[in-house]
Each structure stands twice: as C-alpha cells, then as structure tokens.
Structure 1
C-alpha cells in the first residue's frame, strides 16, 4: 500500500522517519503535492497496485480525484483514501508531538472497507406537493417546474390568474410516508371546486361580504348565504353549497411544506420532506430547492440496523418491558407490533425507509437485539485495535478517542484546526486526541467505550453539535454515567468519559479549553480481544479485562449503577412470592429460571438486562430491580432467590405447587360455584386428580390423607 504525505508548504511539522517506522513503509515527504509535485501523485495512481492509495490531505480531495481520472493508465477501480493530518492536530500547538496520532490515523486508512450490507430502494418520479399560502407556493413553484411535476395545496393567500399547476384545497387531515411514497389525505369541504373554477373572478365581484378571496375559497364564517356567487358561476358550475365534504387522497414523491408548523413532529424528518417556514433564510431555502431537484430517480440506502427478535426485551405475556429504541428514535422509524401465533409477545418493527442510520437504537438496546451494521461492531473493533496499537507503537500515551458525526463533527474539527492556525491563543486539537468520524456519534455505545478503555485508551469523548436530537444527548449522558460509574467503582481514577457540545465555529474557544483535560487512569496491560457482533459478549469481555486490571487491591462485592444500566440483579420478596413462575416465562434473557426438581426460582445475574418485564408480569408485585455490577464469580451461576415448601395433592400425594401458591389460589377461587361445599377440596388436588374427582363424585374422594 502506498501512502503520500504532504507538509502543506512546510506548515506541518512532520516526522517522516517516525511515521514510516510506525507504518512499516518508506515515506517521501512532499510540500506541494496538490500543485508542483502533483506528478508524484499521478505516478502513485498508475503504479499498478490494486491496494488503496492513501493521501494525507482532505482539502484537495476533489482535485486529486480529478487528477486520478485524467491520469493515463490509472486503474478506474483503485480506491483513494484521504486522511486529515493538518486540522486534526498538525496545525495545533502540539503539532510537533502529534506524530503518534498521525501514524494511527494513517494506519486506520489502510484497513479494508467493511463488508457490504443489504440495502433498501426508493423510487421518485418527481411528483412534488407544495403546501402553503398560494402566492408563496406559486413563487417557489416557478423555480422548480422545469424539473418536477408540481401540485399545490393552498392554505389561503392570493393566487395568480394564470393556472400553471393543479391546486388542491380543503381540510388537510393527514400527511404520511417518505421519499417516493407520501400520501396526502384531505377533506374537500369548500363550496368552490378548484378543478372546475376558471378564475374568472365573477364570484369575487358578486360577493357583497368579500367572503371569497383570490385563493378561490369561500370563507363560510363571513358568508351570509345570499348565493349571488352561485348565480354568476352557473355556466362553470364550480360553486355548490349543497356539496357534501368528500375525503380524498393522493400520492406524491416529494413534499415542500411552507407552513409555520411542520407536518412531521419528529426531529429527523422523512427523506423527501422539506420544511421551509415563512421566516426561513435564503440559504436554507436555496438548499431545499437544490435538494428537491436532485431527488428524481432511483436511490438506495443501507439497512443500517439488524433485528433479532429472540433477544428482544420489548414485550412478553401481554406486558411491555423495554421500549428504549422506540423512545429514542428521532425518525419515528421504530414501532411496536404484535402478530403471528404468539400475540402476547410484542416485538419492535423497524421501517428501513424511515431509518436515518443514526444507530442510537442499538446504543440504548440492553440485549443487542438491535445491532448497528454500517459498519458492524466487529469492524469497529478492528479499527480500534489498529488505531490504539499503532498509536502506542509510535510512542503515544494517554490516547483520547474523540467520536463525532462524520459531517457536522468533521466540519467542526476542521474549523477548530484552522482557527488554531490563525489564533495563537487557541491550542488546537491536542496531540493525544484521536478524532474518529462515525456516521453518527450515537452509533457506538457502552460496550465499545469500555472496550476502548480495556484496550489502552485513557478516555473516550463524544463530540455533539446542534444537529443532534435532544433525546440522543439525554441517552448518551445516561450511558456515559453508567460507564463512568463502572470504572470509578473498580478504582480507576479520573474522568474517562465526557460529552462535548459545540453548536458550530462560535463555540470553538470553549471546546478548545475543555479539550485540555488531564488524562484518566487506564489499564496496565491493554487487551487485544476482538469485538463481537453480540453486544453482551463484547460488554462482558471488556468488564472482565477492566476487573482484572483494576487498581484497587480489594474490590467491593458489587458496584451500584444508575437506573439506565443494562446490568443488575432482582430482589424478590419471599413473603409475597407465590412461586407462580410468571416471571420465568416473561424473562427474555433466561436470567430467571425454575427448578424442575424443587419449587425454586433461580436467577443468573450475568444474563439480566434490567428490562423490567419480570416486575410488570409478577401478579404479587414481589420483584424489584437493582442496577449494579456484581464482582463475584457467583454472578455467572444461578442462585436461588425464592423457594417454598411443596404442596402435595390430597388424593395422590404428588407435589404440584407450593403451599403459598395453593393458599393464594384458594383465596381467589374459593367463591367460584365450581368449588363450593365438598368440591372445594378440588383446589387441593393436582390436575389429574381434579379431573378424576369431577367424574367420580365426592363419595370416592379421599380427603383424610
């Protein structure tokens, strides 16, 4: 693999020999690779290697791609990967100490691409619905009608005399869907039918109350009912006050909404929907119009998440437990459903066309039933090992992973690096801070963060911008608190996890100051385990490594955790529990189990998700949750949390329940007509003997045994 580095006209303090040793490659330093030394890039492009070409420059990405396309003999299929060394630290105050970071970022670019994932398709033929005041809708339509097929839904205002586009009006009832499949439902409840109206304005002239405007709709509150408008419109027949409201619907590919309040309330609006309120600035308006023009044709996007229903803790026995993914989804792409033979077992359903690919659902999922696949956790684990091992091999210490969203976060880091170049009061990105772009900052969760510490990182920081949904920030804070509680309980000193927030370039000074935090205590010997697709398995490996390396000479029995923790125990009120075992059938992780040989309820703490299904299922309200991490080997073994003496059938002596359970059943069913008089003893019989007793009568019952 070939790597080209450039000191950007000698503004970057590159230690080329050190970088070469860390990468195992002989490197040549360039100063103007994008200008005078461009032939070196062209020679590298056509050197015949099928391996990716790594270029340590992102500013001139477009130029390099154009040069590659124009270079004779260059293979079209050879990938070119661009790495930012300049803004991510080279231009900072610690640029001379940033060689380990530079080596790590270059090594990361040399990894293979993640495996492809299935995709979903969108098809748009350019049918655009514009909703809003007629005059504004028609003005914007003029800028789009050469590329799109437009329909206007008028919400008032004055229109033009010339009819250029179909116009709908009435009471808008519902707008739903996504790119290529929006459905509009409305009630045509006005006396004037717009499809028949010729816009001759005769009705406007005839109406003495001025109840008809240039939107060609009657204001029924202002109308006195004299019907002069009907008389003058007799030829066209567009006005009929006797017409009953009609429910209508129509499908569109795209929607431009000009109203103050958007049709969709979720933070992440569906693809193909654009909201331009009356006070939208010119830049936002231009961006929306350009995007609409591009959304004609066939499109694909990955299926970002995978769902394993067998692991899901959403619902059992008609009860709802965990709904974290539904609550956090900013695109309203996740819903609850009950279907099939087992309707008591609710599952979640992900609409891949609405999914925006943020991955926050997989971060808050306690069981791993939802996993992020673009890329997978296993691929991110490969990147983590490569990044940290290269950084350490090059002499780096106290690494900080700075996770950020690829678009908004990368722009902010670029602004940060450029500002530090011009403003000497700023430090720039510290040498030990390793930026890691993700599709979305919420796509990696506690199992990855703890694995990073277990594999040698000092800290993990998350950089959030104003583009993030408020629910994401809440969930990330909760999960970061859980992770920090675990490390603090194990004796690791310092602040290992932090959520950095910056809206845009205006907050760079505050971000720069916050990034000067002291390192936190890490592990003595970094682990090198591979992250698994199974979230719980990865979390367990990280916890085991952190416990082995814990600084405390004597660990506590358990570490208390915040309520959002996916780890913990259950407390069972032995006096209230009847051992009905409803909780066993409700537990999705097998943490609660019965004992076929004895009336016992057993619990394996390692498996517990703290989903709460057992609490909601228990008819005696005998179960409570306690978030914690038990540090004893018994955490992996089943232990008895409730047991009772067996109740024996009064007819055959076979044990078939517990004494407390039978007593509870007698209390509840004792008044039932079927169990009155001598038949009351049937409640003390096993199922087989009860059937026999019903058919043989009370005279053959043995009651004094």
Structure 2
C-alpha cells in the first residue's frame, strides 16, 4: 500500500520512519523501540500475535513498562482504490491510536462449576453428552425419544416432564419443571419390561408413557414391580433444579430472546447443526470464574420512568433485547440486571435524560476519539469527512473482507474520506455523539449494521436518526447527515459506501471546541448551541447572524419552532387552559425540573430546555389537559421560564387570604354540591382557607367538637 512518511509525520507533528518488513526482517527495530519505554503504535494488525510475543520475549521491555497498541491502516485505507489520497485518513487513525486507553470500569463476575443441562430429544442429548461428559457434569431433560431413543446404558441423570420455566444466567440458571408422567426416570433401570408389556405401544425408548395412547391397562405397572418406577397414582410434583449452563437442542427455544443470557446455547438438531462443534468447544471452556464489564451507569435522580407509580418514559425497557431492564414503579425507577446485560447500549441511546449512561467506554472518551480523528484528518488536508461507526467484531471483520477484496481488484474499498470508528456495539452511540461529530467537522455519520442486531435496535437507531436529521434540516443545514447502512457482505458494503459520495451537505461554518460531557443532556445543550449559533436558517430569518437573532428579545419565536418526530428528547407541552385547574400535579410528576409553579401566584411555568418529553405530566394530569409537542425552539425563550397557564386566586370567604385557584375551588364545589356530607355550613367551609376552616368548625354551636385526647 502507498504510504508517505513525510505527509504522515507532518500531520502527527513527529518524524516517522517507514518499515516495510517490520514483522520479519526488520523485527529488531521493533525490539529496540520496546527498550525505550515509550508508547508504541504498530500500524498493522496482521501480525498482532507475533508482535505481542516479541514484546514478551524482548529483555527489558517489561521492566520499561512499554505500552504497545495496534491500529489497522491497511484494510481501512491502504487497500483501496483511493489509497494514494488516503494519507489524511491514515494520519487520523494513527493519531486516535495514540490516545490513552479508556478508564477501567466495574466488572460483573460469573461463577460456573460446569453443571450442564441438555434439553432435547433423548438420543441427540445423550450423543452430545458423550462429547462433554468428561469435562462437564451433564444432566439431561428428555423431550421425546428422538429417532433411535435412549441408549440401553444410562450414563447420565435423566429427567422428563413439563418445563414450567427456565430463568437465570451463567452459573445461576434455575429450571422449574413438573414430573407429570407415571414413570419415574430416577428409578427406571431401562430393562424394557414395560415396553414389551404395553399392549398399546404407548411407551417409547425415552421410557415415558404417551398418555394419548394409553388406555390404562396397567400391564406396565405390574411388569415394573421389582423396580417400582411406574405408579399411575403418583401425584404431579413441581421441582426446582439449579444449573450453570444450558444447551437447548429442542426445535422450540426455551429462551426466545434475541440476546439470550450468558451460558444459554441453542443447537437445534444436535451435532447435525453447522455450529455444533464450535458450540461444544465454547461450553467446555465455561468452567471457573469469568468477568465482563458492567457496561452501564444508572442515575435514578435523572430517570423519567415513573412518579407516584405512574409510568412515563419506558424507552429502555421496551428496547432491551436481553430482558435485562424491568420496571419498579413502587420505587419510581427501572432495575437493570447486570448479569443479563449484553452491553449493546441501546438503552442509553434511547434514554432521553441520560439516566442510563454507557461507560464502556464513557461518552467523554468517545467524544475525544471522534474529535481527534476529525481534527487530525482536517489538519492533514482531508475534506468531506464521513465517520463510519461499526462494531469491533462483526463490523471490523466485514471491513477487513472489503479491504482484501479491494486489494485483489474486486472492490473499490473503503473511500479515502471514510473514517472507521469501532464501537462495542453500534447501538451504544446516539444523537448526542452523532450531532457532536457533525459539530467537530464530520460531514455525515454512518452507522453500519451487519445483520446480527436486534430489530428493535435498528428501529431505535432509525428513529433517533430521523430526529437528528429533522433538527439539522430545520436549522437550515441541507442534505442528509445521518445514514444507517445495512450490509452483511463486502460487496453490499462496498456498494453502500460508494453511494455516500454526495457533497451537497451544508455544515456549521466553524468547528466546535467543546468537550463531550459525561451527562447526555449537557452534551446536547453544548452541541445545540453550536449548531444554532451557525445555523443558516436562523441567520437568514433575521437578516443577520443566528446569534443576534437568538439573543434578541421578542424575536419571531414561532418561526423558530422546529417540529421533530415523535420520540424526540426535546420539546415542549401545550396546556388546555379551559380544562386545566392548576392543580399542579404535573409539577410534582416532572422529573427534570421543566415544569414549575409560582409561590406568589397560581401559575404553571415551563423551562423548555429541561423538558425530556417523558410524558409523565401528560399521564398524571387528571383533566387530560396536557399534550406533548416534540420540537426544538431556537429562541431565547427555550432557556427561560414561560407561563403556560395562570388563574385568578380564590380568596377565603372568611379572612380574604388567597388560596387555590378560582377554577379549582369552583370545580370542587360543583362536584360535591350534591354529596350528603357537604351540605349547608360544611359546603361553605370548603370556600375557606385551612386556618379559617378549623376556627369555624370549633365555633359552630351544633357541630362535633374536637377535644384533646
């Protein structure tokens, strides 16, 4: 691949020496660098294993504390028809590789003793068990005999009956099942006497009775007199059994999730399945203790899920394909099971408040990587940067296949202006970082889905992209800035990347300099301020700069209300003033401080910047007077308190002190006027403040008096 050391060195502000045979004849140069103690970036992943071994074998390298990192510049840029113009991209990839490793995150530990449950046809289950029994403690749950039935020799414990549920994860599975058959497999010796004795041939070689065929002759029970395994009067029994691993051979999965728990494997058809050998190898390795990152961070005080057992935002619960998130309305929160979480990050992408944050890596670390890539690319002379977000496993593999196809002349390869950025999962990055990438100088953001993503994840990504695109277009930025590419082959990826060469996009005139914050809403505010400051639509509307228009009091706010699709984390609410009684239940329900009251007057106020469109106010309102309005208000009023409704206060009929609102008191009187408990003076007391109500109650001669106990 063509490389220009002077160009790359100038972009990175350090001299570079090009090694063309570093992994073989020039290996001593790598070993000399190890002794320096400096951080080393190897711009090739082809021989990562070799370089790692050299680092371990080189004397003094470990003592020097040399850190070695790897970055792929070959398949991502050097093997492409654009390779000669890819120096800005390669410089950007090298600069990003020099960044420090992300901060360590908490871990989740699994402990497995190797207790394996195999569920499926008995012949297949026993066949697989023979391949695993030397390493794992196997128990079989028989579902039908299969084509040949069980072996004559019983080598493994066998259960049969009706499975009620299977829950848990690696090291902590619980099978709940009912023994519903007359034959107890724990007592059965497989002598076949019952099979021979049954006149209806209702007993198969799984040694269970087919109750649809059985006519209750009881010949089998008499034949089993010695073992005593058959009893038709045995009551059904519910049992719980614990396992560390589950291998499901059945046609219908016991856990039908897109992201099943760690330790659960499906292999329909047994070893006839194409993934049979690989699955068995993985099972054999799962004995001991295992750690995985805790991918998320949860801040309950920011959560808009529920208030007073009323559900508002349910986005994270709905999107999770691992069933790791559940609702706890009583505690006004969601609950995330870290053992079930697979680290996709889709919950953090759809969370409007940032209550759920992705920490592997954290948002500031991702933001720094994006800004480094884009700024280095721009300083090296690159233009029209496209940021390609892909998974660090399947996406990385597909890009590698595309690079090889390009090197062989069968594809164009990754274009010179496309900067790949690997993520743990493509659903882990959302609107806050996408918009930040645009503010940092990217002309567009492309997310690569390779076909193994949950449908709900892709739907969530499309929804978030529609919101981000509507926001950009509403501010006057022309063209398409966000694209979800679905490609499962190198050919389809090549075609999709080739279709992105559209330069008719407009961008902010200046590149943003803010740092991505740990809080999602803070980052959103920073990027929105930048986009609005340089928005063409705002500048043209005022005949001047966007900043001048947004800071001018009394500006045309209605013209600057940009409608956004449903599900937007930005917006306002409308209040039906005729229906609203200013009970202010919505203020108590609002989790983000967007809705406020006024201590000095009956008012309902809104700070639109704080509104997350969770819907709790709409759901809580007893008068159904509130509706959500997803939008971006590009005007100063967005950050100010705006009065949505106000009313004349009701004055106490005894002392004249204002309390409540006239509309609320009149509505209460109208509803209670016919009630037997509120007649005469009792109804009149409802028109008094709390102090006067007590005084009047004590002074009434014919009323019940409250005495000290």
Q: Does the pair score TM above 0.5?
A: yes
- After alignment, is 616-625 or 29-38 more displaced? 29-38
Q: How many residues align?
A: 682
CA distance in 2, matches of 1:640, 1:512: 49
What is the CA distance between 1:89 and its match in structure 2? 1.5
The reply to whether residue 104 of structure 1 matches residue 92 of structure 2 is yes
Q: CA RMSD for the aligned pairs?
A: 1.6
CA distance in 1, matches of 2:531, 2:460: 23
What is the CA distance between 1:85 and its match in structure 2? 0.7
- For 1:646-699, what per-residue CA distance to the aligned partner results, in whole angstroms no more than 9, with x for missing partners? 101111211111111011111222233321133211221122222233332278
The one of 31, 36, 52 aligned to 1:65: 52
Residue 18 of structure 2 corresponds to 29
SS of 1:121 mapped into structure 2: strand
Residue 113 of structure 1 corresponds to 101
Residue 563 of structure 1 corresponds to 566
Residue 396 of structure 1 corresponds to 382
The one of 79, 100, 110 aligned to 2:67: 79
SS of 2:536 mapped into structure 1: coil
Asked if the contact 1:317–1:617 (Cα under 8 Å) also holds between the matched residues in 2, the reply is no
SS of 1:384 mapped into structure 2: helix
The one of 286, 296, 319 aligned to 2:277: 286
CA distance in 2, matches of 1:318, 1:580: 18
The reply to whether residue 690 of structure 1 matches residue 693 of structure 2 is yes
Residue 643 of structure 2 corresponds to 640
The reply to whether residue 466 of structure 1 matches residue 455 of structure 2 is no
The reply to whether residue 277 of structure 1 matches residue 268 of structure 2 is yes
The reply to whether residue 627 of structure 1 matches residue 612 of structure 2 is no
Matches for 1:142-541 after TM superposition, within 5 Å:
142-157=130-145, 158-278=149-269, 282-338=273-329, 343=330, 346-424=332-410, 426-505=411-490, 507-518=492-503, 520-541=505-526
CA distance in 2, matches of 1:270, 1:208: 45
Residue 676 of structure 1 corresponds to 679
CA distance in 2, matches of 1:117, 1:673: 64
Asked if the contact 2:267–2:273 (Cα under 8 Å) also holds between the matched residues in 1, the reply is no
Query: Structure 2: which 5+ runs fail to align?
Result: 542-558, 704-709
CA distance in 2, matches of 1:492, 1:515: 17
CA distance in 2, matches of 1:301, 1:194: 38
- For 1:11-33, what per-residue CA distance to the aligned partner results, in whole angstroms no more than 9, with x for missing partners? x1101111111122221112222
TM-score normalised over the length of structure 1: 0.94
CA distance in 2, matches of 1:305, 1:349: 12
SS of 2:597 mapped into structure 1: strand
Query: Structure 1: which 5+ runs fail to align?
Result: 1-11, 701-705
Residue 544 of structure 2 corresponds to none
Asked if the contact 1:131–1:152 (Cα under 8 Å) also holds between the matched residues in 2, the reply is yes
CA distance in 2, matches of 1:531, 1:447: 9
CA distance in 1, matches of 2:301, 2:701: 47
CA distance in 1, matches of 2:691, 2:265: 67
The reply to whether residue 579 of structure 1 matches residue 582 of structure 2 is yes
- After alignment, is 264-273 or 687-696 more displaced? 687-696
TM-score normalised over the length of structure 2: 0.94
SS of 2:464 mapped into structure 1: helix
Residue 556 of structure 2 corresponds to none
Do the aligned partners of residues 248 and 387 (structure 1) sit closer, same or farther apart at CA in structure 2, a change above 3 Å counting?
same
- For 1:560-619, what per-residue CA distance to the aligned partner results, in whole angstroms no more than 9, with x for missing partners? 111121111110011111000000000001111100000110111000001110000111
Asked if the contact 1:678–1:698 (Cα under 8 Å) also holds between the matched residues in 2, the reply is no
CA distance in 2, matches of 1:575, 1:401: 50
CA distance in 2, matches of 1:74, 1:282: 46
Asked if the contact 1:427–1:512 (Cα under 8 Å) also holds between the matched residues in 2, the reply is no
- For 1:358-403, what per-residue CA distance to the aligned partner results, in whole angstroms no more than 9, with x for missing partners? 1111110000100111111011122122111111111111111100
SS of 1:606 mapped into structure 2: helix
- For 1:268-299, what per-residue CA distance to the aligned partner results, in whole angstroms no more than 9, with x for missing partners? 01000001122886441122111111111001
CA distance in 2, matches of 1:519, 1:394: 22
What is the CA distance between 1:645 and its match in structure 2? 0.5
- For 1:326-350, what per-residue CA distance to the aligned partner results, in whole angstroms no more than 9, with x for missing partners? 0001111000114xxxx3x521011
- For 1:297-346, what per-residue CA distance to the aligned partner results, in whole angstroms no more than 9, with x for missing partners? 001111111111111000012211000000001111000114xxxx3x52
- After alignment, is 56-65 or 358-367 more displaced? 56-65
- For 1:100-133, what per-residue CA distance to the aligned partner results, in whole angstroms no more than 9, with x for missing partners? 1101101111111111111111100100000000
The reply to whether residue 663 of structure 1 matches residue 666 of structure 2 is yes
